[in-house]
Amino acid sequence: MSRKITRRKVLAGTAAGAALATFKFPAPAIAQAAPFKLGLLTVKTGPLAQGGIQMEQGVMTFLKEKNNMMGGRKVELFSADTGGSPAGTKTKAQELVELDKVDVILGPLAAFELYAISDYIIQQKMPTLSLAAADDLTQRHDNPFLLRASATSSQAMQPMGHYAATEMKLKRVVTIVEDFAFGYEQMGGFQASFEKDGGCVVKKLWPPIVTPDYTPYLAQISDCDGVCQGFAGSNPLRFMKQYAAAGLKYPVVTGETGGDDALLKSFGDDALGLVSCCPYTLDLESDGNKRFVDGMLKNFNTVPGFYAAGLYVNCEVVDAGLKAAGGDASDKAKFMAILKKVSLTDTPRGPIKFDHLGNVIGNFYVRRLGKEGAKYGLKLWNKTVKTYDNVSQFWTWPEKEFLAHPVYSRNYPPLRKC
Amino acid sequence: MNFWILLSVNSITFGGLLFLLSSGFSLIFGLMRIPNLTHGSLFMLGAYVGASFLAGFLSIKLDFWLAAILSAIVVAAFGALMERLLLRRLPGDQLAQVLVTLGISFMVADFCLMVWGGDPISVATPAHLSGFVRYGPAVFPLYRLAIIGIAAAVAIGLWLLLERTRLGAMIRAGVDDPDMARVVGIRVSQLFTIVFALGAALAAFAGIIGGPILSVYPGLDQDMLPLALVVVILGGTGSLLGSFVGSLIVGFLYNFGQALLPELAYFILFLPMLLVLVLRPQGLFGRQLS
Amino acid sequence: MNKKLVALGIAFLVLATLPLWLTQIYYVNVASQILFYAIFAFGVNLLLGYAGLVSLGHAGLFGIASYATAYMLAAGASHTLSIVGALVIGLLSTAIFAALSLRTTGIGFIMITLALGEILWGLAYRWISVTNGDNGINVHTRPAPFGISLASASSFYYTTFIIFLIALGAMAIFVRSPFGAALKGTRDQPRRMTALGYHVWMIRFWACMLSGLLTCVAGILFVYYNQFISPQTLALTSSAEVVLMVISGGPATLIGPIVGSALVVVVKSVVSGYITRWNFLLGAIFVAIVILMPEGLVPGTARLWKLGWRKTMARRRPNVLKAGGPPA
C-alpha cells in the first residue's frame, strides 16, 4: 500500500525544510475540505507481522468500501511499521503525531507497545483506538484517550469460563498459556468466572513465549477434565498439533486468539472440537459482517479473523464519530468524548457501545471448531454455539467490586485446593 | 511413571531434532571457523520451501521425503552461492563474517515474509508415520520416534563421509593445513564451497523434518538459532560427537528442566551454558579455541 | 591534518546547531537517538575493536541501567538519586559480567556474553515484582537540571549532545593513552604482553568497566528518551544490532560507531516510513558494506577517498611518456 509521501518529498532537503517552516500556510477556511488523517501503528516485520498485516488489511478493506471517505471527508492513511518493539512504537507514534499530524491513531498491536506510548497519547491528546488487550489501561490505570472496540485480555475469557462450567459441565481444568501479561490476564479472567460457577482450576502452566516443543508441559496435563489454552499468533497452531500428537483427548477451550478464524486455513484435524470465545466470529450472519468478509476476500483473497475485524470496526467507530462531530476533529478532547458515545448496531461483530472507561460492551461468541458449515474454500469452520450479548469488561461483577481486587496476574486469582 | 517415560523419550527425540539443526552449524564452524549466523534463517527457508513443495510443485504434490531432499538441494545451492560470492572474500575475518551472515539472515527472513506471508503454515505429518506407539499408559507419536532414526542416520552418514571417504579426507586435510593441501593438489576452495553447501543443506533438511512438529512461521529462525548455539557450545564446537552429545544433553535439560523447574524456564538452557563456558570454555568435547 | 580539523569543526557546528535548522521535532528526536546509540556503540567498540572481544550481551547491561533508573523513579526517588543509583548498579553488574566473561576470549567470550544477555532478558520477563514483566515500567517525567526541563526535544537533544561529546572525548583520550595502547596490545599479541609483564586480565577487566560505564550512560539516556523500558530492550536482537552498528561503521575507529549508529537508526526510523521492506534493505546494506568496504564504512570511505583522489590526480596530469603521446 503506497503511503502519502508528497509532503515528505518537499521536506527532504533541510534548506527546503527551513524555508517551508518559515512560510506559514493560511488556516483552511472550511475544515472539512482538508483530508482526515488516519494513522495506523502496526507491525509488518518480524514475528508479530501475522497480526499486523491483517490489521492493515482490515483498515484497507474499510477504506476501499467507503471509497476512502470518512464522515464526509477524504481520508489520508499513514501506515507505520513499529517493528514490534516498544522503542519503535514510540518513534513511529511520534512520526505520526508530529510529522504526519494525524487526527486519530489506530493500533498498536501489542500490550507492551501500548504501554510504551500511553503517557505520550495522553500528553498529545491523541484519540487512539487500539486492539492491544492490556486490561489495566481501561481499568485501574485508565487512559482517557484510549478507546478499545475489541476486548480486554480477560473480557473474552470470562464468558468462556462461564460456558465451560455451565454448559460443558467441566469441573477441573488445567490452564496453559504463554508466560506474559496477556496470558496472565486471560487465565485470570477464565479462572475467576470458572470458579464462580462451580469449577476449579487444578494447575496453571506457563511455557515461555519461545517454546518450540510444548511436550514438557503437555506431560503435566492430567487429573482434569478439560484444558484452557490462551496462545496467540502462530502458537495455537503448534500447540493444538502437539496436543493431539501427545494423545491428549480432554476438551480444549480458548479465548479470542487461540482459535482465531484467520488460522482456520492453517489448522489441521487436530484442532477439531476446539471451543473458543471471541468478540468476532466469521460465521456471523449479518449484513455488516457480509460486507466486511466480501471486502476482505475481494481485496486480499484472505479469510479475516480477529485482527482484521478489530481494525475494520475501529474504522467504523471513527467514521461514526466523525459524522457525529460534523466532520470536525480539531478539538481532540471533544472528539474523544464523541467517540466514546458512539453506538453501532451492525458492525462485523454485531452491536457495540463503550463504557465510561473507553472499553467496548458488545457480543461475545462461543464457537466450536468443526467441519460443518465451512465456506470460502476452507475445510474447517468455527460454528457459533452460543452468543453472550452486552458483555462488558467486568462480566457479571459490579464495576466497583471488580476494580477493588488487583489486576489479573500470574498469582491472582490464587490457586486453591480442588 | 508415565510422566518420566514420556519426558525421557521426548528428550531423546527432541535431541534428535536438535542434532539435525545444529549439525550444519557445527560442521561449518568446526571445519571453516565461520560462525554462520544465517543458520536459523536457512532452517526456516528450508521449512518454507519444503512446505511449498509439499503443497504442490509444478502442480504435482510431492512425497514428504522427496520434498525434504529437494528443499535441501535448493538451500544448498543458495549456501554455495553465499560462500562463493561473499564468504570467500573474508577468510579469517570473523567480524566481517558476522556482519555478512547477519545481513543475509535479515534478508532471508524478510524474503520469507514477503513470499509466504505472515500466517503460520502447518506441515502435515507423512501418512505412514502419523500413528502412535503405546507403551503401557504412555503414548508416543510415531513421527517423533522416527526422528531419532533420521538423526542417527544423518549422524552416521556424516561420520562416514568425514572419516571413511576420500572427500572427507580431503576436507579434513584442507581444514588442518590448507596450504599443504593445495600443494598436494587438493582444490581447497572448492571443498569449502561443498562444506558450506552441505551445512546449509543440513539446516534446510532439519527445517522440513521439524515441520510436522514445529510448523513454519515468521520468527522460527530467531527461535531456533539460540538452541543451535547452546548445543554447539555445550557439546563442543567442531566435534560431530560433541554435537550429538550436546543435542541429547540439551534435549534432557529442555524437557526435564522446564517440567520440574518451571520458575527457571527462561534460563533452563542458558544457565548450564554459562556454567559450562565458565568452567570449560571449549565445551565438553571440543578442542581449545582462540 | 588541517583538512581533518576543518571537517571536524564543520561537523561540530552542524551538530551543535541542529535544532535550529532541522525544524521538524521528529528529526531532532532521531538525531538524539543516533547520539545515544552512538555512545552505546562506543562502549561496545571499546571491547570489540580495541580489545578484540565481541560481546553479544551488552544489551543486558544497557537494560540494567535503564531498569534501575525506571525502578527507582517509580519508587519515588529523585532524578539525581536514580541516575547515580543506576550507574552504581550498572557498574557492579558490569564487574560481575566481566569476571564471568573474561574466563575466555574469542568465540568463548561471544558465547558467554550471549548466555548472560539471554539470562538477563529472561530475568526482565520473570522478575515481575521488580521489572513489571512485559508491561514494562513507565517513566513519567524527565529531569530538569538547573531548572531547564528536558521534556522538549531540543533540550533533550542538547543534553544528549553534551554527554556525547564527553563520551567521544573520553574515547579519544583513551585510544591515545598508554592504557589504550596496552589494550590494543592484548588484542594483537596477548602472549607477548604477558611476557612483557602486563597483567592482561586486569587490562581487559578495566576495559570492560569503561565499556560498561559508557553502556550504562547510554541506557540511562535511552530510558529518559523513551520514558519506558521493557524486556525487548535486552533481547539478543538488541545486542546484535549494536554489534552490527560497530562492525559496519568500522571497528577500532573513533567515528565508526557514530556512522554505524546513524545508519541503523536512520533506516529503522526514517527509511522505514518510505520502504516497507526496510529489514531486507538493512540486511542488503550490511552485505554491500562487506563486499565494498569489509573494514567498515569509515575506514573504507577513507580508503576509497584516498584512492579516488590519487586516481583523479593521476588522470589530470598528462602522461607524455606513454606510448602514443598525450591522452586524447
Tell whether C100 is within 8 A of chain B (Cβ). Answer: yes
Q: Which of A81, A213, A269, A307 to mutate to test the interface with B (most CBs of B within 10 A)?
A: A213
In a domain, B37, yes or no: yes
pLDDT of residue B174: 75
Q: Which amino acid is at C141?
A: T
Predicted-complex ipTM score = 0.90
Which residue segment(s) compose the domain that B139 sits in?
22-218
Annotate C46-114 with DSSP letters as a single string. Answer: HHHTTS----S-HHHHHHHHHHHHHHHHHTT--HHHHHHHHHHHHHHHHHHHHHHHTT--THHHHHHHH
Q: Provide the mean pLDDT of chain A.
A: 88
In a domain, B182, yes or no: yes
For residue range A244-269, list pLDDT tens digits in order. 988 899 999 999 999 999 999 999 88
Distance from CA of B240 to the nearest CA of A (A): 24
In a domain, C64, yes or no: yes
Residues with Cβ within 8 Å of C182's Cβ and at least 6 positions away in sequence, in order, are C193, C198, C203
Q: What is the CATH number of domain A157-283+363-404?
A: 3.40.50.2300
> Are C125 and B266 a contacting pair at CB < 8 A?
yes
In chain A, what residues touch B143 (CB-CB under 8 Å)?
A: 245
For residue range C211-254, list pLDDT tens digits in order. 999 999 999 999 999 999 999 999 998 999 999 999 999 998 99
For residue range A161-204, list pLDDT tens digits in order. 999 999 999 999 999 999 989 999 999 999 999 999 999 999 99
Query: In this complex, which of C112, C118, C289 lies closest to B278 when CB atoms are compared?
Result: C112
> Are A112 and C136 a contacting pair at CB < 8 A?
yes
Split into its structural domains, chain C has a count of: 1
Distance from CA of A308 to the nearest CA of C (A): 19
Specify burial of residue B23 (Cβ count, 10 A radius: 0-12, 13-18, 19+).
buried
Average pLDDT for A64-68: 93
pLDDT of residue B71: 93
C309 confidence band (pLDDT: 50, 70, 90): low
pLDDT of residue B238: 65
Upper half-sphere CA count for residue A32 (Cβ side, 13 Å): 10
In a domain, B245, yes or no: no
Provide the residue ranges of all domains of chain A, joining segments of one domain with +: 6-152+285-361, 157-283+363-404
A157-283+363-404 and A6-152+285-361 share a CATH fold: yes
Q: How far is CA A75 from CA A33, A60, A67, A69, in A?
A: 11, 11, 9, 5
Q: A56 and A1 in contact (C-beta within 8 Å)?
A: yes
A145 confidence band (pLDDT: 50, 70, 90): very high
Weakest-pLDDT range from A288-302, B183-197, C71-85: B183-197
For residue range B74-120, list pLDDT tens digits in order. 999 999 999 999 988 888 788 888 889 999 999 999 999 999 988 89
Q: Which amino acid is at A140?
A: R
Query: In this complex, which of A18, A90, A120 lies closest to C23 when CB atoms are compared?
Result: A18
B237 confidence band (pLDDT: 50, 70, 90): low
Residue A398 predicted with pLDDT over 90: yes
> Are A266 and B122 a contacting pair at CB < 8 A?
yes
Average pLDDT for C312-325: 51
> Are C273 and A112 a contacting pair at CB < 8 A?
no
Tell whether A415 is within 8 A of chain B (Cβ). Answer: no
Q: Kindly list the partner chains of chain A, i.e. chains with 3 or more CB atom pairs below 8 Å.
A: B, C
> Are B95 and C48 a contacting pair at CB < 8 A?
yes
Annotate A150-170 with DSSP letters as a single string. Answer: S--TTTTHHHHHHHHHHTS--
For residue range A324-381, list pLDDT tens digits in order. 998 888 899 999 999 999 999 999 999 999 999 999 999 999 999 999 988 898 999 9
Q: B25 and B203 in contact (C-beta within 8 Å)?
A: yes
Tell whether A249 is within 8 A of chain B (Cβ). Answer: no
In a domain, B285, yes or no: no
Tell whether A101 is within 8 A of chain C (Cβ). Answer: no
Residues shown for chain C: 328
Gap between the Cα atoms of A262 and A264, Å rounded: 6
- Residues 190-219 on A with a CB inside 8 Å of B are 205-208, 210-213, 215-217, 219
Which residue segment(s) compose the domain that C107 sits in?
19-235
C281 confidence band (pLDDT: 50, 70, 90): very high
C-alpha grid cell, residue B118: 505472515
Tell whether A8 is within 8 A of chain C (Cβ). Answer: yes
Q: A131 and A385 in contact (C-beta within 8 Å)?
A: no
pTM, two decimal places: 0.89
In a domain, C86, yes or no: yes
Q: Residue B263: closest CA among chain A residues belongs to which residue?
A: A206
Q: What is the CATH number of domain A6-152+285-361?
A: 3.40.50.2300
> Are C140 and A119 a contacting pair at CB < 8 A?
yes
pLDDT of residue B83: 92
> Are A14 and C269 a contacting pair at CB < 8 A?
no
In chain A, what residues touch C232 (CB-CB under 8 Å)?
A: 84-87, 112
Tell whether A53 is within 8 A of chain B (Cβ). Answer: yes
Beta bridge partners of A391: A362
Nearest CA to C257 among C50, C51, C43? C43
Split into its structural domains, chain B has a count of: 1
In chain B, what residues touch A220 (CB-CB under 8 Å)?
A: 3, 259
Q: Which of A112, A137, A143 to mutate to test the interface with C (most CBs of C within 10 A)?
A: A112
In a domain, C123, yes or no: yes
Query: In this complex, which of C119, C237, C285 lies closest to B267 when CB atoms are compared?
Result: C119
Residues with Cβ within 8 Å of C80's Cβ and at least 6 positions away in sequence, in order, are C143
> Are C268 and A91 a contacting pair at CB < 8 A?
yes
Gap between the Cα atoms of A362 and A392, Å rounded: 7
> Are C287 and B104 a contacting pair at CB < 8 A?
yes
